[in-house]
Chains A and B, each alone.
Chain A
Amino acid sequence: AQSVTQLDSHVSVSEGTPVLLRCNYSSSYSPSLFWYVQHPNKGLQLLLKYTSAATLVKGINGFEAEFKKSETSFHLTKPSAHMSDAAEYFCVVSERGYQKVTFGTGTKLQVIP
């Protein structure tokens, strides 16, 4: 069975401070893992993806995520939050291409000036 758990539905940080969005997954296969971002009134945009290459994955806009198999985690981080980072973030796991895709319930990131 495949599942994704985003541990926080809302995260609030001050501008310039680090961001941590947590994601745990379970999968019967070697999964591919993704983080997507959805800004208000805009479509989903791929931030980064893990597909069994390097465990530390760098994405766009300064985000990165580390795949930890022993902890079944794929947490998203950014060293310094920017106001434009305020959005909803989805952790996604897929098996066998996109034949089976599961989205997390999302984490809303609020950035305080």
Chain B
Amino acid sequence: DGGITQSPKYLFRKEGQNVTLSCEQNLNHDAMYWYRQDPGQGLRLIYYSQIVNDFQKGDIAEGYSVSREKKESFPLTVTSAQKNPTAFYLCASSIGPGTTNEKLFFGSGTQLSVL
């Protein structure tokens, strides 16, 4: 079955540590996205990528970094510069912009907590 896989499901970060969240899709989608979910704030876009080797900052990119070396993979690194990293992180993908089938597929999420 095609879909989006996020790992790990739970992740703990120590002070000053960088951690990387994995997101893999086998849907052959061009576009991939990272969102952060905080209680009462809905989902906020961190980074998105429309095509391999290209990505753009979203609304809350500070303290995060991404790479898109392969179509299937879009890992998110939460750096030590992110002072409030505790949140639920969701990865998503879509066929791409400008298509008629604008369905956004989501992974099951990663809960990041600070030790």
Which residues of A does B touch, CB under 8 Å? Answer: 4, 6, 9, 32, 34, 36, 42-46, 49, 51, 90, 92, 94, 96-99, 101, 103-106
Nearest residue, chain A, Cβ from B94: A98
8 Å CB contact of B44 from A34, A92, A103: A103
Query: Could you write out 26 A-B pairs with CB less than 8 Å apart?
Result: A32-B102, A36-B106, A42-B108, A43-B90, A43-B106, A43-B109, A44-B106, A49-B102, A49-B103, A51-B102, A90-B42, A92-B104, A94-B102, A96-B97, A97-B31, A97-B99, A98-B97, A98-B104, A99-B48, A101-B33, A101-B45, A103-B35, A103-B43, A105-B40, A105-B41, A106-B40
| Chain B nearest Cβ from A62, distance in angstroms | 20
User: Counting CB contacts under 8 A, is B96 at the interface?
Assistant: yes
The answer to whether B96 touches A97, judged by C-beta atoms less than 8 angstroms apart, is: yes
Residues of chain B lying within 8 A (CB to CB) of residue A4:
42
**Most chain B beta carbons < 10 A, residue from A44, A46, A103, A104:** A44
The answer to whether A43 touches B107, judged by C-beta atoms less than 8 angstroms apart, is: yes
Which residues of B does A touch, CB under 8 Å? Answer: 31, 33, 35, 40-45, 48, 50, 90, 92, 94, 96-100, 102-104, 106-109
The answer to whether B102 touches A106, judged by C-beta atoms less than 8 angstroms apart, is: no
Complex CA gap A103/B98 in Å reads 20
Nearest residue, chain A, Cβ from B105: A46
Complex CA gap A90/B88 in Å reads 15
Residues of chain A lying within 8 A (CB to CB) of residue B44:
103
8 Å CB contact of B104 from A6, A34, A105: A34
